[in-house]
Amino acid sequence: GAVVSQHPSWVICKSGTSVKIECRSLDFQATTMFWYRQFPKQSLMLMATSNEGSKATYEQGVEKDKFLINHASLTLSTLTVTSAHPEDSSFYICSAIPGGFDSPLHFGNGTRLTVT
């Protein structure tokens, strides 16, 4: 149980275009989801906390106008990379917590974004 599904797995887009990444909790409701970015062979960088029905909370240094987050339902959060540039190329991973404070995060399989 407690499956988080992320789509697409990989995407290639041209500079200046926008890309939407979806994150779904398949068998539980998630009022909060977390979006991470990971550079090659590096740790996770928390970008933002997505809150169902309200605005996302962005970490310091993350451009909220570039990385638009929408959490319209208890099972779906989306991250839109707007006007993408090559430096936005990265591995983006979403996660959610299916239980209480002692529950681990459950992660999607990630999205490899390449901007050409």
Partner 1 sequence: AQSVAQPEDQVNVAEGNPLTVKCTYSVSGNPYLFWYVQYPNRGLQFLLKYITGDNLVKGSYGFEAEFNKSQTSFHLKKPSALVSDSALYFCAVREPGGSYIPTFGRGTSLIVHP
Among 17, 29, 42, 114, binds partner 1 (CB under 8 A): 42
Is residue 106 part of the contact set for partner 1 (CB under 8 A)?
yes
If binding is defined by CB under 8 A, does position 51 make contact with partner 1?
no
Q: Which amino acid is at 16?
A: G
Sole window of 4-12, 13-21, 60-68, 74-82 interacting with partner 1 (rule: CB under 8 A) = 4-12
Cα–Cα separations (whole angstroms), residue 116 to 67, 87, 90: 18, 10, 12
Q: Is 37 exposed, middle or buried (CB count within 10 Å of its CB: 0-12, 13-18, 19+)?
A: buried
| Minimum distance from residue 108 beta carbon to partner 1 (Å) | 5
Q: CB nearer to partner 1: give 76 or 105.
A: 105
For the chain, give the longest Cα–Cα distance.
Answer: 42
Does 68 help bind partner 1 (rule: CB under 8 A)? no
For the CB of residue 27, give the shortest distance to partner 1 in the complex, in Å: 15
The b/e string for 73-86 (b: 16+ C-beta within 10 A; e otherwise) is eebbbbbebeebee
Using rule CB under 8 A, residue 76 touches partner 1: no
